[in-house]
Amino acid sequence: MTKGGVMENLTLEQKIGQLVVIGFYGIDPDAATVRGMLAQARNGTIGGVILFGYNIKGPAQLKRLMKAIHQEPKTYPLFTIVDQEGGRVQRLDPEKGFSGFHSAKTVAENLTPSAAREQYADMGAMLKRYGFNFDFAPCVDLDTTPPCSVIGGLERSYGCQPARVADYALALMDGLHEHGILTCLKHYPGHGRAQGDSHIGPVDITDTWSEASLEPYAALVKTGRVDAVMTAHLLHQGMDPDTPATFSEKWIGRLRNEMGFDGVVVPDDLNMGAILHHYSLEEIVIRGLNAGLDLLLFSNNPLAANAQGIRQDARSTGFGNSRVPDAALPGKIIRIAVDAVASGAISETRINEAVSRVMALKQRLQVSKT
């Protein structure tokens, strides 16, 4: 699989499909929701899937599910993604029979970076054993006092010193890379000092954010080992007023132009309340791609937008106002993007740029198998 050959052979619809990462409900390959997802993988309507705790019951069940995903005929490799950080964020939960791993805070307080790398190599081996090829980790957010409820409050940060955070994040990256697992720095441009939860609504970091939050990203990008960076749904009025980083050409531009990162940029879940409550599906797709996102990540989980339940006033008909996942969501995303290219709202050059980065990352998955 070469990027040039791929670009020549793909239709516009297929190109856009490679940019779509979707979540799904179900734990059994025979479940209707899982069969639907497998059909999308086979048809090239999606480029990746992400599994959450509700997809994972235990080791034997997960092996069956992942075997079905990998055995489904497909033209191009599928990203099989999970959030596995350790501590409170472990989709492969030790309570379900999987090996457990320490939180970032515990690792940084008790292990050297070298010893941490060994722990993370074990994590990488486990992820590979169960069929994953992409981990949305490490978290490189800086800790603060009082801690951010969804970062420091959950012990997801390696600390408050940028260099130390970068050292331990690199340990995770190297440990997972040893087993061919892609990694993703998060949550750009820095969620650690935020006071709020973007799962529920907008989080303004204007008064709490500092340039130090970018230092781990800059240091790690210089190593040449960063596969992907995840943007957060954070607002900074001094940087890009009223535009979350996920939709901000300025924030993504700093990552590209100042730090020199030319890998994949992926948003945090676009079903989160900070996005879903304020933008239609059409706006999400067009603004996201035009800002510089290379993947469009949707958990397709109606509960993701509100910790208390599902909001009932989604602005876009058919998106976000249902109590069940939308099986047709990938097709809707593709149609919106195709129409946007036709109207000039998105350039095909931007689509090609994103596809090129995604395929380069998938090429690395192929190489890691050899």
Which two structure tokens, joined as six digits, stand for 21?
A: 């990462």
How many residues make up the chain in this entry?
370
- Angle CA(97)–CA(127)–CA(82) in degrees, nearest 5? 95
- Per DSSP (E only), the strands in 146-192 are 182-188
Instruction: Look up residue 258 and give its two tokens.
Output: 């100042």
CB neighbours (10 Å) of residue 295? 25
Q: Which residue has the tokens 């008909």?
A: 317
Rounded CA-CA distance 119/101 in Å is: 8
Contacts of 9 (CB under 8 A, 6+ apart): none
- Alpha-carbon distance of 29 to 215, in angstroms, equals 43
Please, are residues 80 and 49 in contact by the beta-carbon 8 Å criterion? yes
- C-alpha–C-alpha distance, residues 207 and 295, integer Å: 29
Please answer whether residues 359 and 76 qualify as being in contact, where contact means their C-beta atoms are separated by less than 8 angstroms: yes
Residue 4 DSSP symbol: H
Residue 216: name the closest of 162, 139, 173 by CA. 162
**How many angstroms separate the Cα of 247 from the Cα of each of 186, 229, 256, 297?**
16, 14, 14, 13
3-state helix, strand, coil in the chain (%, to 5): 45, 10, 45
- Maximum Cα–Cα distance for the chain, whole Å? 56
Q: How far apart are CA 23 and CA 33, in angstroms?
A: 10
Q: Which residues are catalytic?
A: 199, 268
